[in-house]
Amino acid sequence: MAPPAFQLNEQFIQQLWDRISVPQESTSTSAMFQSVFLQGNIPTREQLAQIIDVAYWASFATEEGNSVTASLILKPVKITPDTFRFDIPLELTAKTLVKLGPALENPKSDIGIWPDDIGTLKIWGFTSTPYELIKPDFWVQVLGPGRILIVYSGRSIAAVTGNVAVFLDHKIVMQSMMSKIADQAVPGDIQIINLLRYNAILKIAQQMRAHGRGGTILIVPENQNWAQSIKAPIRYTGGANFLNIESRQLSFQKDEHDSFDQITKMIDEMNLPHQQDWMDSWQKIQQQCNRIARLTAVDGALVMNFDRYVYCFGAKIRALNINATSTGMLMLNPFESESAIEGKFTALRGTRHQSAAQFAYDQPGSIAIAASIDGNVTFYTRDSQKDSLIALQQAELMLLHEGLGGPLWNLSLFAEQGWFEKKDERKGVNYLSAVIQWMKTTLNRE
């Protein structure tokens, strides 16, 4: 048998396995979340390499001309109404994933893998539960040719993109966007609202990417300045929030001293499910994001505010500052230990990305998101202090995928970065305590 021409970097595999098998040094905030999440199934180092290798090579394959996407999760057989279990487990190979891929895309399904009696990984079946609450186990998603996302403990931690294996840094994305989001605060807002806006933006961008047609989202302040950058007339204009009014109402409790009483408030504010209606509550926010994202499949840009009110879609962007293309641009990737690279507008490929960058420059308070048909997603914002544009590339690796893991880890990061105001510090601690208690109760964990 001929040896493989390309192999995974052993140092990367070792570092990745160390991160998921040995608790890392962390702040007290993230430690609270780890007490809930870090109880998922962990592969051995050899199994880890095999899962990544199989997923990576399957990503390059096509089935009847269509690219293959798949999601693999390491967990034992779990019999539910939405689970299909094979009588004879299948071999875990790229060829098997290619064959199964078309059957698992709509609705989204996870391929279940687990070692047999002699330790060989097998595909035991798949489950199509679309809104699983928490996925704490080792989980690999095939995002496109040569791109896979590696998730553990409910959080994306690494990726393979092209011929590069990287560890992800969630702070880069949050820091690049949070200042724009915080500028939209109105009297009476509490800091956690900014996190809700941030999570919603990531989720809508993920849904836009998922429809496979590419698109542009322009997120603007609640004024009409954005209209100057849109060509008239706008064909598809009007306005909608696409969300049931009940799930938008936020109730704020006066008592900051009773953290247990804030569990219900935390659930309501984050659109988290509670008691017996959790599926209904979770589906509402998913449906809103999906409806907004589907409109981006129409040629042109969708314009919405930071609270997801859609002004129009199918809009054409007009350049206001013709000198923008000669200004500086910082190009970032959400990877650990990677510095920004200076570039020019001309380095951006495609009209969609160039137009989104132009809009972000012309409208300093905005965030522009462009997704290519091939799945690449870039966020654009303007650094008003340095009069330069920031292009956050490969953002598809940081978007919110299925489950509540991403939003809840973002809550942890939000607190670690100190974005609770001093006057809200106690309230912030209460939020964290409330959601941790709720998660433990929901997951039946001590």
Instruction: For 231-286, write each residue's pLDDT tens digit.
Output: 988 889 988 877 654 444 433 333 433 433 444 444 454 444 444 454 465 567 77
Q: At what angle do helices 405-416 and 192-210 cross, to 10 degrees?
A: 140
Structure-token pair, residue 205? 């961008």
Chain centroid offset of residue 260 CA: 29
Structure tokens at 230: 């849109």
Write the CB contacts of 298 (distance below 8 Å, at least 6 apart in sequence): 236, 313, 314
d(CA 308, CA 67): 31
- Superfamily the domain 171-442 falls into: DNA integrity scanning protein, DisA, N-terminal domain (3.40.1700.10)
Q: CA 150: distance to chain centroid?
A: 12
Max Cα-Cα span within the chain: 70
Domain spans of the chain, in order of start: 10-167, 171-442
Return d(Cα 351, Cα 308) in angstroms, integer: 25
Q: What is the amino acid identity at position 445?
A: R
| pLDDT, one tens digit for every residue, the chain (446 residues) | 566 667 788 999 999 999 888 765 555 555 665 565 556 788 999 999 999 999 999 999 877 777 777 889 999 987 777 789 999 999 999 999 988 887 776 557 889 999 999 999 999 998 865 545 667 789 999 988 999 999 988 788 999 998 899 999 999 999 889 889 988 877 666 677 788 889 889 999 999 998 889 999 999 998 889 999 999 888 899 888 776 544 444 333 334 334 334 444 444 544 444 444 544 655 677 788 889 999 999 999 999 999 889 999 999 999 998 877 777 788 999 999 888 888 877 778 788 999 999 999 999 999 999 999 888 999 999 987 777 889 999 999 988 776 667 777 887 788 777 776 555 555 555 556 656 665 555 554 44
Distance CA 72, CA 56 (A): 12
